[in-house]
Amino acid sequence: MASMLQPQIILLKEGTDTSQGKAQLISNINACTAVVDAVRTTLGPRGMDKLIHDDKSTTISNDGATIMKLLDIVHPAAKVLVDIAKSQDAEVGDGTTTVVLLAGEFLKEAKPFIEEGVHPQNLIRSFRMAANLAIARIKELAISIERKSLDEKKSLLEKCAATTLSSKLIGGEKEFFAKMVVDAVTSLGEDDRMNMIGIKKVPGGNMRDSFLVKGVAFKKTFSYAGFEQQPKKFHNPKILLLNVELELKSEKENAEIRLSDPAQYQSIVDAEWNIIYDKLDKCVKCGAKIILSRLAIGDLGTQYFADRDVFCAGRVAEEDLQRVASATGASVQTSVNNIVPEVLGQCEIFEEKQVGNERFNIFNGCPSGETATIVLRGGADQFIEEAERSLHDAIMIVRRALKNSAVVAGGGAIDMELSKYLRQHSRTIAGKSQLFINSYAKALEVIPRQLCDNAGFDATDILNKLRQKHAMSKGEGALFGVDINNGGIVDTFNNFVWEPSLVKINAINAATEATCLILSVDETIRNPKSESAQGEGAAAAMAGRGRGGLRGRGRGMRRR
């Protein structure tokens, strides 16, 4: 009898929590659904905002990526949704709420099949097939804005930016900001690095007091005595950029100078002054009227430049200095010796201007034109912060639309068309895949449905109208989406509700990948924090798919 009793051997460290199988899958899906419900109401022009606060700060936002980053999610599977929101934000800048919502809906549609015992790999295969079909269909439906004149293209890009901004806090002024964003992006030319567009926030004033500088603007730096005597406006000035400290520095504490004659002390002091005067003299002789340095320019230097009608600013932020270099054609110098004319920059007008309670140094009419600065005004700090996030999304969208100049109809139109297309395609497939692709098609309707719910319309009624319109029409029906302003349906393309096709392609790709990833996990093993390496042996974790515990014989394993 004793020989029949096999000893039970524990492989995992005591305190390890394991859960597996169907229950684990459903638990993961439920966790993701809970996260999706947190951002569901932020979608679209009538979306609500979320107020998230901790001990340090308060944030008001309806940007999906921002909310997902600020939510302190501890569930390991639900963290996948945070990652896809971040990836969507990094890749295309907009559609972060869309991607989270789609992933949640795909999982919701998969849940009944999992409960009925369908193997997750079957669902994963069908969902990937559906995603490939949907992306191919988007590429067919996309309308190119290539080969247009610059004015036409600007007008089209403004429509894309306005669609993005319509769902944001500054949606009431979307035309004003859309034009500003397009001007900023198109002024960059070929160099479309994001850090070449600066956004400066100045509390106070009205949103419409915001303005665009086709050049560089930055806040007045720390100033020393003599600063007010410097001229504050120049026409066609030469600009010198330095990474040099222009102030008298006392010797370090451990420096030691031995003197045999007290009269020699004065010669050492004079040498220090001669060094700084020599540097200042070389800066003025090069012909520059504006001198900016990343390091400090002390009170001696400030007064010296003021006496010679030269403007100077020390401790300029690295990013601002780099943008001035790009805009004016100047090169940052690490020495004041041998300054040749080629390293100096130039702009049409430099002026120091009052904006709200702040003084700003503004460089306008820069020759290279490869940088721009948006100065944002508004009431509360939280409002300006959200306005900055909104403009970031719009800037990203315009950059992407310039590079991949294909757009699709917004307002849920493309989602309804893809849903119809996949439903029709599923009928041509035999077997279980037909059901899975059909459920994927149904999940795509979540976007127009949520747009209706957030606007307070009857979602069932509007979705029925959209289904009918898309089913009856060939081609033209693909452009009909939710009419946010009046309820009902409207040709969203002709009403200029556009979004770059790249946004939708990336959203469907990322949402499908996240869904497949979560569906492929059937076991979670949570290791306890290792308190001591003694007595427990090495902890090994092997996550198997299917049943069967993690048991076996071997050295270092305890018998129970």
Closest CA to 503 of 169, 84, 91: 91
CA distance 372 to 366: 10
> Which class for 53: exposed (0-12), middle (13-18), buried (19 or more C-beta within 10 A)?
exposed
CA distance 128 to 437: 9
> Which class for 448: exposed (0-12), middle (13-18), buried (19 or more C-beta within 10 A)?
buried
CA distance 373 to 393: 16
> Which class for 321: exposed (0-12), middle (13-18), buried (19 or more C-beta within 10 A)?
buried
Ramachandran quadrant class, 487 (left: phi over 0; alpha: psi -120 to 50; beta: rest): left
CA distance 397 to 404: 10
Phi, psi of 553 (to 5 degrees): -105, 155
Positive or negative torsion for Cα 90, 92, 98, 102: negative
Residues catalogued as catalytic:
63, 96-97, 393
Q: At 314, list the tokens.
A: 């020390």
pLDDT at res. 546: 39
Please report, in tens digits, the pLDDT of each residue of the chain (560 residues total): 445 555 656 555 555 555 677 888 888 889 899 889 888 898 888 888 888 888 888 888 888 888 888 888 888 888 888 888 888 888 877 788 899 999 999 999 999 999 898 998 999 999 999 999 999 999 888 888 776 666 777 887 888 888 888 777 777 888 888 888 888 888 776 666 777 888 888 888 888 888 888 888 888 888 888 788 888 888 888 999 988 888 876 555 556 777 777 777 788 777 778 888 888 888 888 888 899 999 888 888 888 888 888 898 889 988 889 888 888 888 888 888 888 888 898 888 889 888 888 888 888 888 776 788 888 888 778 888 888 888 888 888 888 777 777 888 888 889 999 999 999 999 998 888 899 999 999 999 999 999 999 888 888 999 998 888 888 766 566 788 888 888 888 888 888 788 888 889 999 999 999 999 999 988 777 777 654 443 444 333 333 333 334 333 343 434 33
pLDDT at res. 419: 92
CA distance 11 to 556: 9
Closest CA to 199 of 320, 315, 92, 364: 320
Distance of CA 206 to the CA centre of its chain: 25
Buried b (16+ CB within 10 A) or exposed e, 343-380: bbbbbeebebeebeeeebbbbebbebbbbbbbbbbbee
Give the type of residue at 283: C
Q: Are 280 and 301 in contact (CB under 8 A)?
A: yes
For the chain, how long is the longest CA-to-CA vector?
107
Q: What angle do CA 144, 132, 21 make, to 5 degrees?
A: 145
pLDDT at res. 190: 66
pLDDT at res. 191: 61
pLDDT at res. 536: 43
Ramachandran quadrant class, 57 (left: phi over 0; alpha: psi -120 to 50; beta: rest): beta
Give the type of residue at 236: N
CA distances from 24 to 125, 212, 357 (A): 20, 53, 57
Element at 524 (helix H, strand E): strand 523-526
Q: Are 541 and 525 in contact (CB under 8 A)?
A: yes
For 274, the 3-state DSSP assignment is helix
